[in-house]
Structure 1
Amino acid sequence: MNRRKLLQSLAIGLPTLLLSNKISAFSMIDDATKEFVEQILAGPFSPTWESLSNYKTPEWFRDAKFGIWAHWGPQCQPEAGDWYARNMYMEGNWKYKYHIEKYGHPSQFGFKDVINTWKAEKWDPEALVSLYKSAGAKYFMALANHHDNLDLYDSKYQKNWNSVKQGPKKDIVKGWADAAKKHGLPFAVSVHAAHTWSWFETAQRSDKTGPLAGVPYDGKLTKKDGKGKWWDGLDPQELYAQNHPLSENSGDDGSIHKQWNWGNGVNPPTKAYIDKFFNRTIDLIDKYHPDMIYFDDSQFPLWPISDAGLRIAAHLYNKIIKEKGKLNAVITGKILTEEQRKAMVWDIERGQSNSIEPLPWQTDTCIGDWHYDRGIYNRKAYKSPKTIIHTLIDVVSKNGNLMLNIPVRGDGSIDGLERKIVEDIGIWMNANGDSIYATRPWKIFGEGPAQQQAAALTAQGFNEGKGKPFSHEDIRFTTKGNTLFATVMAWPTAGSVLIKSLGTGSSHYPEKINGVQLVATGQELKFERIAEGLKVYFPDVMPAASYANPLRIV
């Protein structure tokens, strides 16, 4: 049996059979073979759902509640929004038209060439992370790679297509990691590259109409095609990964969403592609020591066609235990069953649960588009600080965390409108954070009319902004020790608010209420507890940033 066949058999069987506290799964493979598949660190977790279901969410994550994300990479350079690298190859799409106007036709100037224009000349990670910490973020996340497949770090296995070798010629992940460490924030990375295989299939197309009809885009170019060009010596297939047949219905731009779980006719990736993704992610973990990994996948990456994601999880969990003495790591995934939520943290994209979840979870959302979109800035269409604060309060009341993306421009800066939103969030958090940080859900998450019209989750989430806006009748609860926090989601225009769940006959709160304070100022408020509820009288003057108004009840 040659080494590659030995490797294949070991990669399938040994991770499960040989993991122990003393023996690594690949300890019997010599150094020459290790370049193909990285080792899995030994420890109490093995790469099975059953083993990983013993996972417990660490307290730091449960206490943090609020994180900020820099979803930043070469797709921010055109400043035309998310999924640019896919949509620029979709004839008729506005990003295709934009690309032709800005750069030229995608048969002549493809996404590899966009990467070459990205220089990140104004990027100051320390200053941005400092700003985010001052706004109340308790953890920070950076994009490690997106579906465009460029690793934003000194990548051992994506050695030619990474941000150290191309584009800005900088180790982006290291810059973010160093800044997070300096400011004492847990560091997270987001990993999206498992889907490049099918996501980039649009790069295999050509125009159907016009003067360049039938001329292939650059998605099938190979190393030999680069002679005399800026990318001479580079193989575009290491980036695009398109040397394979198209998936079923690949011409349908929406088919990618139906095939996200590696079913419904997707062309299955090769073992070499899967192994490379696995190696790249293990390399990322071992070099930059993240406390958390966000996977943009249904469950673990490449499940159920491969156990690569399970092996990555086992490696990270075991590594953290070995280094810190306890399982302090977090991995998030989407569209999880109840059993799968025991193995990782459930992430809801642009949405929130409508009930208190038994296990901690996270929502991820953005003030604009995931990748920077100059049009949103020009239209002044970012989410308001009030919307963000309302989302945070609602999510925390239901046992969740909020991960908020602040889109970064291609040059590495954020615009003035974004900065003002971050600063305004910070004003509220600095005054009211006691009702958020280190809290836990109460017996009920809240009351009021907004929940009666809440929208159901669809797919990864996507129910944010679909319900009735919050008013002073909407209350959200959290607890910390013997303290109950009741957050009134708007300033009551009548001067008082009635919290119906806290009336004299309340089964939720039979204890005596001794005092009510406005958290933002510490001011003691007049109150009456009657059968209909707890009536609290608000002061005449509103505190700064009174988007929502937590009350401390003791």
Structure 2
Amino acid sequence: MNLTKRMLLHGVTGLALASTTARARSAEAAEPKLGPAQTAKGPFEPTWSSLIEDYKAPDWFRDAKFGLWAHWGAQCVPEAGDWYARHMYIQGSDQYDFHAKTYGHPADNGFMEMYPRWTAEHFNPDELLDLYTAAGAKYFVAMANHHDNFDAYHSKFHDWNSVRVGPKKDLIGMWAKAARARGLKFGVSNHSAHAWHWFQTAYGYDPEGARHGERYDAFRLTKRDGKGKWWDGLDPQALYGGAVMPLPSGISTIEDANAWHEKHDRVWDENPPKENPAFVRQWYLRCKDLIDTYQPDLVYFDNFDLPLGQAGLDIAAHYYNASMQWHNGKLEAVINTKHLPAERRMAVIEDVERGLRRDIEPHPWQTDTCIGDWHYNRDRFTRKDYLPAETVIHRLCDIVSKNGNLLLSIPVRGDGTIDSEERRIVQDIGSWMSRFGEAIYGTRPWKIYGEGPTAVESGMFSEGKQKPFTPADIRFTTKGSILYAIILGRPLTDVVTIRALAGANIQRVAIVGSDTPLPFACDAQGLQVTVPSEDSHDFGIAFQIRGQNLV
């Protein structure tokens, strides 16, 4: 059953459906092979049971191990950190204060006024992708939209897009071309399924102060108000999502307003919004357009489970079937979602946001994290407190030893560049990967992930609790008959002991990338390897170990 029929059965009728079908009909003419509401045919049905039964993670993802990500949009223009578009409407927040001081009160100058300022004037995807390829990334992901409900591509179903507004460029198209020219797999991240509630703060007001009770810009602006202005012909309500659950009148303290927002408009589940059924239809059309137009190798959904109930299942089945059509019957598609129950981790690849795993996982998985705030924050640069390259490498090794991948975001400034500290970190990552990447790419877990004294915190958002790894921490990977042992730090002495290999029949040990065998001994205490100081590295080293019955 297609999505239109299913939505009719669930009561999405009249104006809610008509508001999106007119544009869908006009786009069908440009898509004669597959209309906007039609899905690709193939073995996958839009049910969890079908996705679980038929999906298998593609080898390219399991082999790639390391990807880089551009989490970039108009929220990077103020250079004030994450969730700017939401928090600038919450009186008492740092971003509200920054916005009022820098751009004016949000009743006068709301978030939509960031788009004329987001010109991406120095954006050079070729230069950035050269840097990221040199750093060892095997896939690249670009943010297609965030919770601020703006499409960074030539969207057929959403006028608030980067071709019409702001940069006036098809950013996803530019990223895709640059990534594929360098042999990278290309992915997109889609965060827009939560826009319907996340952006409701734009319909609020100051509960205190000289302008208390005066509603912010989203509450009063309509398409008619744009006549003669930069946004002439655009409807602010299509950007902000409509006043589904605005802050009720009469709240008179910041504390009470914050409590209301936390309880009512941070609806972090994946149920379709009963208050806004047209949003589901529009999300489906936009997401399908993104997939059909750019044919990504990976789609990251910033959701706990697939987004928006049945619509997410429809998209997943369509994407998998379409991928098989694009690749002559071979499934090459990856979907990432978060916080999945164990029984669904065979259907998509689970992502653990800013977190690690305690042990080897039976199914491929991914950590996504960032060296700073998700959206560019100049304070990070000023304080020099980005995640160091050494920490990135150590976490990558831990993740890979447990059957995972690392997707690392490098925050991009509004003008399309990264700062000098970010560039140095990316280059430092590349200095280690160029020497020891053989122990990462194309590997699979060993019988144990590793050894050492440092406990690993597990689960989403656990990385803040993670203690630094030490040279006594070792992680293992395998490739064919080779065992790799990765030391997480510069060895403190010229002899490294690997206790897990006590009594093993070792035949040869070498530094990864070197043809020269190293002196070693193996006894009941472990494998002892002598390492020349010139072969060491501040972040750690990787051994290539051969022996009988090791793997």
TM-score, normalisation: structure 2: 0.90
Q: Does 1:409 align with 2:413?
A: yes
Name the CA distance, whole Å, in 2 between partners of 1:244 and 1:136.
45
- Structure 2 counterpart of 1:484: 483
Shift of 1:40: 1.0
Shift of 1:353: 0.8
- Structure 1 counterpart of 2:302: 296
- Structure 2 counterpart of 1:385: 389
Q: Report matched runs for 1:201-280 at 5 Å.
A: 201-220=200-219, 221-246=221-246, 251-252=258-259, 253-255=261-263, 259-262=267-270, 268-280=274-286
- Structure 2 counterpart of 1:152: 152
Greater displacement, 223-232 / 357-366:
223-232
Shift of 1:9: 2.8
Aligned partner of 1:472: which letter? Answer: P
The alignment partner of 2:431 has SS state of: helix
Shift of 1:152: 0.4
- Structure 1 counterpart of 2:16: none
Name the CA distance, whole Å, in 1 between partners of 2:96 and 2:212.
14
Of 325, 335, 339, 1:335 maps to 339
Q: Deviations over 1:307-354 (max 9, x none)?
A: 011111111100111121211000000000112111100000011111
The alignment partner of 2:463 has SS state of: coil
Equivalent pairs counted in the alignment come to: 516
Q: Does 1:526 align with 2:530?
A: no
**CA gap 1:287/1:37 in 2 versus in 1, 3 angstroms:** closer
Of 345, 349, 366, 1:345 maps to 349
Contact 1:470–1:490, Cα closer than 8 Å, also in 2? yes
- Structure 2 counterpart of 1:175: 174
Q: Deviations over 1:32-83 (max 9, x none)?
A: 7969962111111010000111210000000000000011111111111111
The alignment partner of 1:189 has SS state of: strand
- Structure 1 counterpart of 2:140: 140
Contact 2:201–2:247, Cα closer than 8 Å, also in 1? no
Shift of 1:255: 4.0
- Structure 2 counterpart of 1:373: 377
Greater displacement, 237-246 / 355-364:
237-246
Aligned partner of 2:420: which letter? Answer: G
**CA gap 1:412/1:109 in 2 versus in 1, 3 angstroms:** same
Name the CA distance, whole Å, in 2 between partners of 1:196 and 1:228.
28
Name the CA distance, whole Å, in 2 between partners of 1:336 and 1:10.
25
Shift of 1:101: 1.4
What is the percentage of aligned positions where both structures have the same residue?
Answer: 50
Greater displacement, 214-223 / 340-349:
214-223
Shift of 1:465: 3.9
Name the CA distance, whole Å, in 2 between partners of 1:499 and 1:73.
46
The alignment partner of 1:274 has SS state of: helix
Contact 2:198–2:266, Cα closer than 8 Å, also in 1? no
**CA gap 1:542/1:32 in 2 versus in 1, 3 angstroms:** closer
Name the CA distance, whole Å, in 1 between partners of 2:265 and 2:208.
26
Name the CA distance, whole Å, in 2 between partners of 1:214 and 1:257.
19
Name the CA distance, whole Å, in 2 between partners of 1:259 and 1:463.
22
Name the CA distance, whole Å, in 1 between partners of 2:222 and 2:479.
59
Name the CA distance, whole Å, in 1 between partners of 2:100 and 2:68.
33
Contact 1:291–1:330, Cα closer than 8 Å, also in 2? yes
The alignment partner of 2:86 has SS state of: helix
Q: Does 1:470 align with 2:469?
A: yes
Contact 1:245–1:267, Cα closer than 8 Å, also in 2? no
Name the CA distance, whole Å, in 1 between partners of 2:395 and 2:360.
14
Shift of 1:521: 4.1
Greater displacement, 169-178 / 207-216:
207-216
The alignment partner of 1:377 has SS state of: helix
Q: Deviations over 1:194-252 (max 9, x none)?
A: 00011001111111122211111112222233344332332101000023234999843
Greater displacement, 98-107 / 518-527:
518-527
The alignment partner of 2:465 has SS state of: coil
Flag structure 2 segments of 5+ consecutive residues without an equivalent.
11-23, 30-34, 249-255, 547-551
**CA gap 1:71/1:206 in 2 versus in 1, 3 angstroms:** same
Name the CA distance, whole Å, in 2 between partners of 1:45 and 1:12.
23
Q: Report matched runs for 1:488-507 at 5 Å.
A: 488-504=487-503
Name the CA distance, whole Å, in 1 between partners of 2:266 and 2:224.
35
The alignment partner of 2:287 has SS state of: helix
Name the CA distance, whole Å, in 1 between partners of 2:463 and 2:355.
4
Aligned partner of 1:83: which letter? Answer: W
Of 533, 549, 552, 2:544 maps to 552
**CA gap 1:251/1:34 in 2 versus in 1, 3 angstroms:** farther
Aligned partner of 2:173: which letter? Answer: K
Name the CA distance, whole Å, in 1 between partners of 2:383 and 2:286.
39
Contact 1:197–1:269, Cα closer than 8 Å, also in 2? no
- Structure 2 counterpart of 1:317: 320
Aligned partner of 1:535: which letter? Answer: Q
- Structure 1 counterpart of 2:458: 456
Aligned partner of 1:226: which letter? Answer: G
RMSD: 2.2
Name the CA distance, whole Å, in 2 between partners of 1:32 and 1:167.
24
Name the CA distance, whole Å, in 2 between partners of 1:212 and 1:113.
20
The alignment partner of 2:189 has SS state of: strand
TM-score, normalisation: structure 1: 0.89
Name the CA distance, whole Å, in 2 between partners of 1:31 and 1:259.
32
Name the CA distance, whole Å, in 1 between partners of 2:9 and 2:359.
41
- Structure 2 counterpart of 1:162: 161
- Structure 2 counterpart of 1:9: 5
Q: Does 1:536 align with 2:540?
A: no
Contact 1:7–1:37, Cα closer than 8 Å, also in 2? no
Name the CA distance, whole Å, in 2 between partners of 1:455 and 1:131.
31
Aligned partner of 2:181: which letter? Answer: K
Q: Does 1:399 align with 2:395?
A: no
Contact 2:391–2:468, Cα closer than 8 Å, also in 1? no
Contact 1:520–1:550, Cα closer than 8 Å, also in 2? no
Name the CA distance, whole Å, in 1 between partners of 2:462 and 2:515.
35
Shift of 1:489: 1.0
Name the CA distance, whole Å, in 1 between partners of 2:83 and 2:405.
25
Aligned partner of 2:269: which letter? Answer: N
**CA gap 1:174/1:355 in 2 versus in 1, 3 angstroms:** same
Shift of 1:471: 1.2
Shift of 1:520: 4.8
Contact 2:497–2:526, Cα closer than 8 Å, also in 1? yes
Name the CA distance, whole Å, in 1 between partners of 2:475 and 2:332.
29
- Structure 1 counterpart of 2:185: 186
**CA gap 1:368/1:550 in 2 versus in 1, 3 angstroms:** same
Aligned partner of 2:108: which letter? Answer: Q
- Structure 1 counterpart of 2:40: 41
- Structure 2 counterpart of 1:17: none
Name the CA distance, whole Å, in 1 between partners of 2:218 and 2:423.
37
**CA gap 1:247/1:291 in 2 versus in 1, 3 angstroms:** farther
Name the CA distance, whole Å, in 2 between partners of 1:362 and 1:169.
33
